[in-house]
Amino acid sequence: MNDEIKRELLRRKFTSIEYMEELCHYHRKSLEGLKESIAWFYNHPPDVDWQSWNIADRPDGWENRAVPNFEGAQKSFEEGIEYFKQGDIRYMRSATGSLKGIDKDLDNLGEKWWDYVDLETGRKFGVNLGKAKKIASNIYWTLAGSWEDDEILNEEITGPIDEQDLLRYLKPGEKA
């Protein structure tokens, strides 16, 4: 597949409802993983005085700041899809761009409590958040028309590119 066709098919994929729903799926799984991790911590409290930790290092800090932000983002993604179906890209572009803001907000929260959470439970949050962030970034850069040069073809930026999967985005009569 030549690069020109690949670029076009990637743009179509990154602006497809299916891909946006994939974002919602991974983001929702991340939110569920965060809630499960908080519950796990409370159900298996460490043998240390964690209540004396800075609020940002405790699960209740995450519960009070991160969870509402993630819930708001999830709602924005879902609403963004509905607006996108009506031809308005602004909401989805804004929602995917705001995930970067949530990421910065997480930087202000400590991670001490995560050291005491079951690894597999915590991974539900981190792995799914990573997938959601990659998809959101791809959607945002595509909707904003901000890809520079051949960045859209760079798998280190977009994630793995499956050329066979991209063929689904060919229009009738088009060839790869």
Residue 34 belongs to a domain: yes
Within-domain flag for 102: yes
Residue 174 lies in a domain: no
In a domain, 175, yes or no: no
pLDDT given for residue 53 in this prediction: 94
176 in a structural domain: no
* pLDDT (0 to 100) of residue 42: 97
* Domain count within the chain: 1
pLDDT of residue 9: 97
Q: In the numeric block, which tokens belong to residue 115?
A: 């050291």
b/e 24-62 (16+ beta carbons within 10 angstroms → b):
bebbbbbbebbbbbbebbeeeeeeeebeebeeebbbebb
Q: Could you tell me which of 20, 6, 56 has the C-alpha nearest to residue 163?
A: 6
- pLDDT per residue of the chain (176 residues) written in tens, 0 to 9: 899 999 999 999 999 999 999 999 999 999 999 999 999 999 999 999 999 999 889 999 999 999 999 999 999 999 999 999 999 999 999 999 888 777 777 778 888 999 999 999 999 999 999 999 999 999 999 999 999 989 999 999 999 999 999 999 999 988 88
With respect to residue 162, please indicate whether it lies within any of the assigned structural domains.
Answer: yes
What is the distance in angstroms between the CA of the first residue and the CA of the last residue of the chain?
Answer: 6
Q: E strands along 10-86, which residues?
A: none
Domain that holds residue 106: 3-45+52-169
Tokens 């792995």 locate to 127
| Residue 67 contacts residue 34 (beta carbons within 8 Å) | yes
Q: What is the pTM of this model?
A: 0.93
In a domain, 99, yes or no: yes
CB 35 within 8 A of CB 67: yes
Question: How much is the pLDDT for 99?
Answer: 82
